[in-house]
Structure 1
Amino acid sequence: MEQHQRKGRRVVLFPVPLKGHINPMLHLGQILHSNGFSVVVIHTNFNSPDASSYRHFTFHRISDGLDDQDHPATTSNVLSLFPYLNASCLEPFEACLREVVSDAAGEPVACLVVDAHFHFTQGVSKRLRIPRIVLRTGGACSFHLFTALPLLKGKGYLQVQDPKLEDPIVEFPPLKVKDLPAISSSDSDKDKLLQLVISMVSTAKNSAGLILNTFEGLEQPSLDELRRELPVPIFSIGPFHKLCRPANSRSSVAHNKAACISWLDKHNPRSVIYVSFGSIAETKESEFEEIACCLRNSGRPFLWVARPDSDVRTAARISSGLAGDECIVKWAPQLEVLSHPSVGAFWTHCGWNSTMEGISEGVPMICTPCFAEQMVNSRFICDVWRVGVELEMGRNGLERGRIERAIRRLFQEKEGEEIRNRMNDLKEKASLCLKQGEGSSFNAIDGLARHIMLLESVTFGNGGISA
């Protein structure tokens, strides 16, 4: 279908207000825009996206009830945040979407694309007669596991004690019991997570399609399983970030950006350890000290991103006593860092966006997962794709011996060379999937665009609103 046929058609996006969810949704918007669609973004007051970097999108802000800073639903407690947003956003979201659809001067709305965690949008979609497609911002491997979480609970996997944490999950090799997202949670939190997962999977099954930021050459077995289990079209169109690079308007961090890239420029190829644990995971001060001392003792230069809160104050204090070859910053342009020739390893929390970016740039990983599906991602990185080394928390957190062993395995042992070769192979696959005319993700993007137009024409007749 030619792009000119999509002109005059709007796609409405609704991201969950967390950085790891907002960025891939906006990247997807860039992809759809480059394929002829107009893009509307409805977002919450909480963690509003930076509209200045996407001037070709139309943004609408809705109330979310999170203006009170003491509200218990925060980014540090997603099990409270997601249910709260699903309740508080229903009425303002539906009212905003009705206005968007009813705008006489606006273009017809072809479909709604929502984060998989916003399950309440299923009812809104039905009432407004707008096709609803789901974006799952994690990987296919973790979503496949989520579809079976109730079954695994019924088999007793979520009630095990410490001695059995290393046991395999026979239904999902090579996962272990300790990799289950809820295994370290309290009983009440396990119930909350299970309900969240059930709602997410159920409404995905009842959607008009599922989009994943992945590619066939990386996760084909998991994608095949999902296609057998879910009665909806599945579009694997990643890596998103390779398909769009929106301008960065963060002028406040421009100095840090220039400083850390200039610092990288001074180092030998594949010599630097890049350390970043994402935007939510918290690190104890004692763990910071262990990390800093081990990095310093490794003799490797390191670039360390510490979030602009208590972490960065701790890191700065520790750094002042190191006098080594390190660069500690509040923020870094991760894509530029990972693609820099001096970076030889990525110490990561294994969030899916970071996982995809590390693979796409061919950087071996040191894996320290923290929560949710990060343990699943780490298991696949280390034991399935074999492009990283596992660095688990001990009973007392991160331990010096484990850190030193992980660094040595990547940089000094033959295993590290083998990991690097496998990672280069995956990097090549990530590039090939985007090749025009024959790449799996390239073709899936065209298939998604055709699907959206078909939905508009045969499903709801575009924009008719029911009471």
Structure 2
Amino acid sequence: MKEEGAEETHVLAFPIPSQGHINPLLQFCKRLASRGLKVTLAPTIFITKSAHIEVNNVRVEGISDGFDEGGMDAIKSPEVYFERFKVVGSESLAELIERQQSSGYPFKCLIYDSHMPWALEVGKRFGLSTASFFTQSCATDAIYYNVKKGLLSTPVQGPTVSLPGLPVLETHDLPSFVYYWGSYPIFRDSVLNQFQNVEQADYVLINTFDKLEDEVLKWMSNIYPIKTIGPSVPSIYLDKRVEDDKDYGLSLFESRKETYMDWLNMREAGSVIYVSFGSLSELGEEQMEEIALGLISSNHYFLWVVRKSEENKLPKSLAEDKSEKGLVVAWCSQLEVLAHKAVGCFLTHCGWNSTIESVSLGVPMIAMPQWTDQTMNAKFLVDVWEIGVRVELDEKGIIRRKEIEKCVKEIMEGDRGEKIKRNAFRWKVLAKEAIDEGGSSDKNIDEFVASLLCA
């Protein structure tokens, strides 16, 4: 897989300091390293000091965000954090590039998270090729593009929205920052500013694959030099061509693998509901209790990930349940769980990483979106890819236990569930084909590498 001259080409990758943003970019770095390129990942200094890091062939070098001792959690104001990160991060990123210039292997290309458009300016200042890395779906990116360019008026009027390359969307299918226009302005501005200067980037990389988002990719490719490079998940679960690539290799959370894997190993194939709402979503106590009671009454085994910061919301009903149907853990290797034969479906918040991991492993989903892009992902997995069902909220915005139980049984027991399982398997095959040798994403990665070697 290594190309001649690749070892002299050094790439710098710069992620947002969040687990969901680091994972896909680090995974792409491994793909580049497997082709012989030198690759450096530059998370924040706090991440390098606090995360569990086990990465081969990718050098990790921390840069400062201005909060080296506490990171993003050190300050309660996202506005203050990101403004400080822009100022200090620009300086620290420039210093790293300058230090590397005096070595024998200067950086040739900067791949930066699309949420940090200011990084492009740093890269251009040093004459580097630049690539904007989008960690969300192309469909979601298209919505933000249309809003940023004034092609979709906000606040959104009317019950439905029709945009090029996308199915007809109800307003509640739109990303929450667009549908609820006044919510989280700092994050709304961040997703819109991905398109602030992206036309100046030499490449636009998206963690998706062609057949998954065919129509919207064709439309967006007429505007930007897009290359799909996904699914960006460890190679062992797809093509198995990257040596020893069994996990992402950098985790902000700690798990006890033997506990949940031993438990899963005792369950029959397809008998377990895996439940996780990601690294950021927060649920209220009432919603946590409804989920617990719905899972218990479904009479199926369940493995539920509840972060330590959320443990105090767990209901007494879960502790009092004597059926031994459920296991609650603080964190786990999600890919390893999804790949386990015992897992029959995934109750998920529909973050893009979770969605594309589940697609890649052929696991049907119960969609319970919370905010940001998750509503768009839920729309696609239910109505476009037909690999899941979506819960319905009551008048208080709560998903009740009966609704949880109904959705679980629909996938685990019903006729519709069998169709969903067949569709999920089909998408698993297509995901593997995309990244396998000669697949669409594999070719795009080869073209990206070749262009760096020629530059």
With structure 2 as the length reference, what TM-score do the two structures score?
Answer: 0.89
For 1:257-268, list aligned pairs within 5 A: 257-268=257-268
The answer for the alignment partner of 2:202 in structure 1 is 208
Following superposition, the deviation at residue 450 of structure 1 comes to: 0.8
In 2, the alpha carbon distance for the partners of 1:91 and 1:179 equals 39
Q: Which of residues 82, 98, 115 is equivalent to 2:113?
A: 115
The answer for the alignment partner of 1:240 in structure 2 is 232
Greater Cα offset, 411-420 or 326-335: 411-420
Structure 2: segments with no counterpart, 5+ residues: 236-244
Query: What's the CA shift string for 1:68-127, capped at 9, x where partnerless?
Result: 6552335xxxx7654553344222222222222x223x3132201100011101211221
Following superposition, the deviation at residue 429 of structure 1 comes to: 0.7
Following superposition, the deviation at residue 393 of structure 1 comes to: 3.8
Letter in 1 for 2:174: L
Structure 1: segments with no counterpart, 5+ residues: 458-467
The answer for the alignment partner of 1:24 in structure 2 is 24
Following superposition, the deviation at residue 59 of structure 1 comes to: 2.5
Whether 1:187 and 2:177 are equivalent positions in the alignment is no
Q: 1:227 to 1:317 in 2, by over 3 A?
A: same
Letter in 1 for 2:232: F
In 1, the alpha carbon distance for the partners of 2:173 and 2:84 equals 26
Q: 1:252 to 1:99 in 2, by over 3 A?
A: closer
**Contact 1:316–1:328 (Cα < 8 Å) also in 2:** no
Whether 1:140 and 2:138 are equivalent positions in the alignment is yes
In 2, the alpha carbon distance for the partners of 1:173 and 1:249 equals 36
For 1:370-449, list aligned pairs within 5 A: 370-394=370-394, 395-436=396-437, 438-449=438-449
In 1, the alpha carbon distance for the partners of 2:390 and 2:17 equals 30
**Contact 1:86–1:119 (Cα < 8 Å) also in 2:** no
The answer for the alignment partner of 1:71 in structure 2 is 75
Following superposition, the deviation at residue 363 of structure 1 comes to: 0.5
Q: Secondary structure at the match of 2:274?
A: strand
Q: 1:151 to 1:401 in 2, by over 3 A?
A: farther
**Contact 1:253–1:331 (Cα < 8 Å) also in 2:** yes
Q: 1:159 to 1:218 in 2, by over 3 A?
A: closer
The answer for the alignment partner of 1:56 in structure 2 is 57
The answer for the alignment partner of 2:215 in structure 1 is 221
**Contact 1:82–1:117 (Cα < 8 Å) also in 2:** no
In 2, the alpha carbon distance for the partners of 1:200 and 1:15 equals 14
Higher RCO (C-alpha under 8 Å, 6+ residues apart): 1
Greater Cα offset, 415-424 or 401-410: 401-410
Following superposition, the deviation at residue 249 of structure 1 comes to: 7.9
Following superposition, the deviation at residue 34 of structure 1 comes to: 0.4
Following superposition, the deviation at residue 3 of structure 1 comes to: 1.6
Q: Give the total of aligned pairs.
A: 437
The answer for the alignment partner of 1:283 in structure 2 is 283
Q: Secondary structure at the match of 1:62?
A: coil
Whether 1:356 and 2:356 are equivalent positions in the alignment is yes
The answer for the alignment partner of 2:8 in structure 1 is 8
Letter in 2 for 1:237: I
In 2, the alpha carbon distance for the partners of 1:111 and 1:392 equals 46
In 2, the alpha carbon distance for the partners of 1:43 and 1:287 equals 34
Letter in 1 for 2:219: E
Q: 1:99 to 1:138 in 2, by over 3 A?
A: same
**Contact 1:54–1:246 (Cα < 8 Å) also in 2:** no
In 1, the alpha carbon distance for the partners of 2:195 and 2:121 equals 15
Following superposition, the deviation at residue 396 of structure 1 comes to: 3.8
Letter in 2 for 1:418: K
In 2, the alpha carbon distance for the partners of 1:189 and 1:128 equals 34
Greater Cα offset, 240-249 or 352-361: 240-249
**Contact 1:51–1:59 (Cα < 8 Å) also in 2:** no
Whether 1:332 and 2:324 are equivalent positions in the alignment is no
Following superposition, the deviation at residue 425 of structure 1 comes to: 0.7
Greater Cα offset, 398-407 or 23-32: 398-407
In 2, the alpha carbon distance for the partners of 1:146 and 1:250 equals 29
Following superposition, the deviation at residue 316 of structure 1 comes to: 7.6
In 1, the alpha carbon distance for the partners of 2:265 and 2:77 equals 42
With structure 1 as the length reference, what TM-score do the two structures score?
Answer: 0.87
In 1, the alpha carbon distance for the partners of 2:150 and 2:390 equals 24
The answer for the alignment partner of 2:302 in structure 1 is 302
Q: Secondary structure at the match of 1:327?
A: strand
The answer for the alignment partner of 2:240 in structure 1 is none
Letter in 2 for 1:374: Q
Greater Cα offset, 234-243 or 281-290: 234-243
In 1, the alpha carbon distance for the partners of 2:53 and 2:191 equals 34
Letter in 1 for 2:138: A
In 2, the alpha carbon distance for the partners of 1:201 and 1:326 equals 44
Following superposition, the deviation at residue 344 of structure 1 comes to: 0.6
Following superposition, the deviation at residue 421 of structure 1 comes to: 0.9
The answer for the alignment partner of 1:464 in structure 2 is none
Q: Secondary structure at the match of 2:346?
A: strand
Q: 1:338 to 1:238 in 2, by over 3 A?
A: same
**Contact 2:294–2:400 (Cα < 8 Å) also in 1:** no
In 2, the alpha carbon distance for the partners of 1:252 and 1:137 equals 20
Following superposition, the deviation at residue 184 of structure 1 comes to: 5.4
Letter in 2 for 1:114: Y
Following superposition, the deviation at residue 57 of structure 1 comes to: 2.7
**Contact 2:366–2:388 (Cα < 8 Å) also in 1:** yes
In 2, the alpha carbon distance for the partners of 1:291 and 1:125 equals 47
In 1, the alpha carbon distance for the partners of 2:374 and 2:152 equals 23
Q: 1:19 to 1:70 in 2, by over 3 A?
A: closer
Letter in 2 for 1:72: K
In 2, the alpha carbon distance for the partners of 1:65 and 1:393 equals 41
RMSD after superposition? 2.5
The answer for the alignment partner of 1:346 in structure 2 is 346
Query: What's the CA shift string for 1:115-168, capped at 9, x where partnerless?
Result: 001110121122111111111111111112211124567534x255xxx5xx22
Letter in 2 for 1:122: L
In 1, the alpha carbon distance for the partners of 2:135 and 2:381 equals 17
